[in-house]
Amino acid sequence: MMGTPIHIWVIFGIAIVVALVLDLGVFHRKAHTVQLKEALIESAAWISVALLFNLWLYFSRGPLAGVEFFTAYLVEKSLSVDNIFVFLLIFQAFKIPPKSQHRVLYFGIAGALVLRAVFVLAGITLLQAFHPIMYFFGAILLFTGLRMLFPRKRALRPENNWMVRVVRQVIPVGQDYEGQQFLVRESGRWKATPLFLALVAVEAMDIIFAVDSVPAVLAITRDTFIVYSSNVFAILGLRALYFALADILPRFRFLHQGLAAIIIFVGTKMIASEHFPISAVTSLVVIAIVLGVTITASLVFPSRGLNPKVP
């Protein structure tokens, strides 16, 4: 797999599984509403783990690998912010109680790790088998970036997603919540709870986001291990980031424009890479500047009706 020894993959896989088991089995064994302080601590912990992994890559595989991972992680972390808005809509649509939201995100993100592996392997395989497809990937990113830059007013209704509709046709859905259960057995028949429908909606939206985020990372590096590991660390920290930033993010009025600029940049980088290659360091600097300008502009020119001071 792009020169990465199998034992590195095994160690990485074991570490991720242990982290997931500890998360649900120890730190979130009992369902509860995740408070801001807890979310900030967990988010800082996941970011620290990612940076330590980045440091290990830097010294074990060289500066280039370290810079590529950090750039890819920064891109994934930035793009994952859009997921937070969608999570809010999903929980509102299915009326998920606050204490059950972590469980939905936990299993949704565990499934996303598998889906991202499929997307990453498929993307790299396509690039190796048919190199010109990078222009197609670049075009997808440019189209997505331009669409985000000039958003249309349209309501996103996750409860009407095609995967949710299929589940409703295949298995009966109850109206009541049964604790933390996704499926319950009544009168000899299995029934899905609204919690299960929310989980399906989360997985469906991740497929949509993966279409954009995976090509964005492939524009930075073609190293399978770096592409997937950067995706994994960004996704693993997404739950904590959601609980920490769900109420704060709407204050950043220029966030979508900043993310659009990043996507347009990486799309252009992918299309122009054959004739005008852009180094990993240059990509990192450009992305960092875009994020810095976006955050600063949002704080200096807040949306009307919002308190500019972030709590």
Max CA distance (Å), the chain? 66
Ranges under pLDDT 50 in the chain: 1, 306-311
Paired tokens of 143: 């189209």
Do 227 and 210 touch, CB atoms closer than 8 A?
no
pLDDT tens digit sequence for 27-72: 666 766 777 788 888 888 889 989 999 999 899 888 999 999 999 9
Whether residue 307 lies inside any domain: the answer is no
Whether the pTM exceeds 0.85: the reply is no
Whether residue 206 lies inside any domain: the answer is yes
184: containing domain: 6-300
Whether residue 306 lies inside any domain: the answer is no
Residue among 191, 48, 20, 26 at smallest CA distance from 112: 20
Whether residue 1 lies inside any domain: the answer is no
pLDDT value of position 225: 92
Whether residue 106 lies inside any domain: the answer is yes
pLDDT value of position 309: 39
Q: Measured in whole angstroms, how far is the alpha carbon of residue 301 from the centre of its chain?
A: 27
pLDDT value of position 68: 93
Whether residue 311 lies inside any domain: the answer is no
Whether residue 308 lies inside any domain: the answer is no
Residue among 248, 226, 205 at smallest CA distance from 111: 205
Q: How many C-beta atoms surround the C-beta of residue 64 within 10 A? A: 16
- φ, ψ for residue 183, nearest 5 deg: -130, 140
Whether residue 237 lies inside any domain: the answer is yes
Q: Which residue has the tokens 């280039």?
A: 64
The β-bridge partners of 185 are: 190
pLDDT tens digit sequence for 176-211: 766 778 888 877 788 888 888 888 988 888 888 887
Paired tokens of 110: 């565990």
How many domains is the chain partitioned into structurally? 1
- φ, ψ for residue 193, nearest 5 deg: -100, 165
The tally of CA atoms less than 13 A away on the side-chain side of residue 169 is 7
